[in-house]
Amino acid sequence: MSRPEVLVVECNKLASLTVNSVKANMPDWDCKVVPYEGGFIATALKNIEKPALVVKSGVILDVNSGDLPSWDLLSEYDICLGRAGVFSDHPKHSQAYGLVGSQIGRKHLDLSVFIINPARWAEIPDSDSGVLQTAKRLRMPRHMNHKSDLLIANVLSGQMAMNYGMLAENASVFNYVDVFEKGSANGNEMFAYALEKALPFADELPAVKSLAERTLTRAAKLRVGLAKTLLEDTTNEH
């Protein structure tokens, strides 16, 4: 296969975060920024001719060999994506989305990060609504896309936030767009999200850089240290 491609769908002012992260972390990938056109799937299909990783602008990428399903496997599917709600299949917390006024459930899918194969789409849909019901879908690896979630800020305990935050150390996609757009993060969010990943790429975005620096000072060192200790303990057990 030719050089893999990242398609950045620009729908906010954070595109430089994504572009800069691709240039630094994934220099072998082509990267193209296009405006949002009526739907993420429609936008993708209008702008690619081969399978591509499609992301909402502001997502930070550090994809390495082995992080994605093989391109041979992806060629058998229309699209590869994950669930919209991080905890929507959690046995204890899945019902908590209603507490924060959200209808997110197990069937709601995340179109801020996906891999799509244009060869398997006969036509370009007018919108994203309902189009995934008939698509042949491959589940994106859960560990890959570390993302913000409504329950972190409003429902879950600090311990749960920290436990989720430690998973960022094995992620390759850092999907905190809504937090960067909001411009603030509470204690749970600082422990749960690796916002400091934005620091090398945020010189053009002073508000994002400031938020990432506060997270680095207050929470990141503890989160990363705990994750490292846990990994070492697990390794020693084997």
The DSSP result for 75-128, as a single string, is TTSSEEEEESSTTTT-TTTGGGGGGGT----TT-EEEEEEEE-GGG-SS--SSS
pTM: 0.92
Beta partners for 138? 80
Strand partners, 53: 6, 115
**Which pLDDT band, with edges at 50, 70 and 90, does 103 fall under?**
confident
Within 10 Å of residue 171's Cβ, how many Cβ atoms? 21
**pLDDT (0 to 100) of residue 154:** 87
pLDDT above 90 (res 201): yes
Q: What is the DSSP letter of 6?
A: E
Strands of the sheet containing 79-83, edge to edge, are 30-35, 5-10, 52-56, 109-116, 79-83, 137-139
Inform me whether the pLDDT recorded for 223 exceeds 70: yes
Tens-place pLDDT, residues 123-180: 999 899 989 999 999 998 877 999 999 999 989 999 999 999 989 988 999 999 999 9
Q: Which of 141, 176, 157, 204 is nearest to 60 (CA)?
A: 176
* Residue 233 pLDDT class (50, 70, 90 cuts): very low
Would you state the structure tokens that stand for residue 176, as one six-digit string?
A: 């905190």
Q: Cβ atoms within 10 A of the Cβ of 85, count?
A: 24
The answer to whether residue 205 scores a pLDDT higher than 70 is yes
Q: Assess contact for 145 and 171: CB atoms under 8 A.
A: yes
40-90 pLDDT tens trace: 999 999 999 999 999 999 999 999 988 888 888 988 999 999 998 888 988
Question: In whole angstroms, what is the distance from residue 178 CA to residue 26 CA?
Answer: 24
Confidence of residue 230 (pLDDT cuts 50, 70, 90): low
Distance of CA 31 to the CA centre of its chain: 17
Tokens at residue 128, please?
A: 């994203």
Residue 167 corresponds to which amino acid?
L
What value does the mean pLDDT take over residues 215-219? 85
Please tell me whether residue 17 adopts helix, strand or coil conformation: helix
How far apart CA 20 and CA 212 sit, in angstroms, is: 16
